[in-house]
């Protein structure tokens, strides 16, 4: 059963998409990727509901079906959206809550895990540590900039203060071909007018400079699962291993696929759903086994 709910989050209102499962054992709070919204992952999220997990998909501030009356927001605002969705889940269902996100949503999901000890586990399909100079490889900017990474971040912040509302397309900072070469996917993204086509410089500066120290200082109190693909051209296996090594959690594990596809949560939703569902079921067994 599908429904939509409006909730207050910070100074804005956001929409939550809810897929109700019959006799659910847990709730998954899902954070979407750059510029899209939960229905982009409809097949994946319906699959989780069919496997006994109620799913709450977050339409971040200014995204998807959420009101467009808030134009200046940061990555921290989207993290707050996710935390408010966790509160909604706990109050409404009184079940263990799993936080999951893809790409930019994976960054948000991991940040929630670093700040919120109410969640049972986190599944981050890709994540980024902004303090790592190697993070420049995720962008389309020259790799040699890693050697002057600090000054580059400073320049980014400077221009964001001068022109915070400058709207920039995805291709300004990411290489679309590294995200996907699937024409059908890009066609669906462009045709759906609820997807965004640009981000403000204000937001992009926050994305690449905000540090979530809790990921590496032991603040994470739940099992941490990183979902990655060996052939991902955007978040490469080498970079993901670098990030994974730095994460501190009671238990951490990498769920690795080999499809050579950054968009695997869309193109291989059944396989992702199966492996992640099996892992969540194991977590539930361990959680409630004396």
Backbone angles phi, psi at 173, to 5 degrees: -120, -10
* DSSP category for residue 66: S
Return the DSSP state at 268. T
CA atoms of 250 and 252, how far apart (whole Å): 7
Parallel, antiparallel or unpaired: strands 53-59 and 26-31: parallel
Helix (H) or strand (E) holding 167: strand 167-169
Give which of 146, 68, 106 is closest to 254, Cα–Cα.
106
Q: What pLDDT digit, counting tens, does each position of 156-196 carry?
A: 999 999 999 999 999 999 999 999 999 999 999 999 999 99
Look at the block and give the residue holding tokens 């991991």: 110
Percentage of the chain lying above the pLDDT 90 cut = 94
| Predicted local distance difference test score (pLDDT) of residue 287 | 73
Per-residue pLDDT of the chain (290 residues; tens, 9 = 90+): 999 999 999 889 999 999 999 999 999 999 999 999 999 999 999 999 999 999 999 999 999 999 998 778 999 999 999 999 999 999 999 999 999 999 999 999 999 999 999 999 999 999 999 999 999 999 999 999 999 999 999 999 999 999 999 999 999 999 999 999 999 999 999 999 999 999 999 999 999 999 998 999 999 999 999 999 999 999 999 999 999 999 999 999 999 999 999 999 999 999 999 999 999 999 988 776 65
Tell me, what's the pLDDT at 289?
Answer: 60
> What CATH class is the domain 2-133+211-288?
alpha beta
pLDDT of residue 141: 92
What pLDDT, on the 0 to 100 scale, is given for residue 290? 53
The ranges assigned to domains in the chain are: 2-133+211-288
């Amino acid at each position: 059963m599908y429904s939509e709910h409006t909730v207050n989050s910070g100074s804005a209102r956001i929409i939550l998409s809810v897929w109700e499962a019959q006799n659910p054992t847990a709730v998954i709070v899902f954070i979407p990727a750059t510029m899209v919204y939960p229905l982009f992952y409809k097949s994946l999220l319906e699959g989780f509901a069919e496997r006994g997990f109620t799913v709450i998909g977050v339409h971040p501030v200014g995204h998807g079906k959420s009101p467009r009356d808030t134009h200046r927001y940061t990555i921290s605002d989207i993290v707050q959206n996710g935390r408010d969705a966790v509160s909604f889940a706990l109050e409404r269902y009184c079940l263990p809550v799993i936080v999951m996100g893809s790409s930019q949503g994976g960054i948000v999901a991991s940040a929630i895990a670093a700040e919120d000890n109410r969640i049972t586990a986190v599944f981050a399909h890709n994540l980024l540590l902004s303090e790592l100079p190697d993070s420049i490889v995720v962008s389309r900017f020259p790799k040699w900039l890693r050697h002057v990474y600090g000054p580059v971040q400073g320049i980014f912040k400077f221009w964001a203060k001068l022109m915070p509302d400058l709207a920039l397309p995805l291709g300004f900072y990411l290489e679309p071909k590294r995200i996907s070469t699937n024409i059908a996917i890009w066609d669906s993204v462009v045709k759906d007018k609820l997807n965004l086509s640009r981000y403000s410089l204000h937001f992009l500066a926050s994305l690449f400079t905000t540090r979530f120290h809790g990921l590496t200082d032991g603040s994470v109190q739940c099992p941490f699962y990183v979902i990655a693909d060996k052939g991902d051209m955007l978040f490469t296996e080498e970079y993901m291993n670098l990030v994974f090594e730095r994460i501190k959690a009671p238990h951490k594990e990498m769920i690795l696929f080999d499809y050579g596809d950054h968009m695997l949560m869309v193109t291989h939703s059944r396989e992702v759903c199966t492996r992640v569902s099996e892992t969540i079921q194991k977590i539930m067994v361990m959680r409630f086994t004396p």
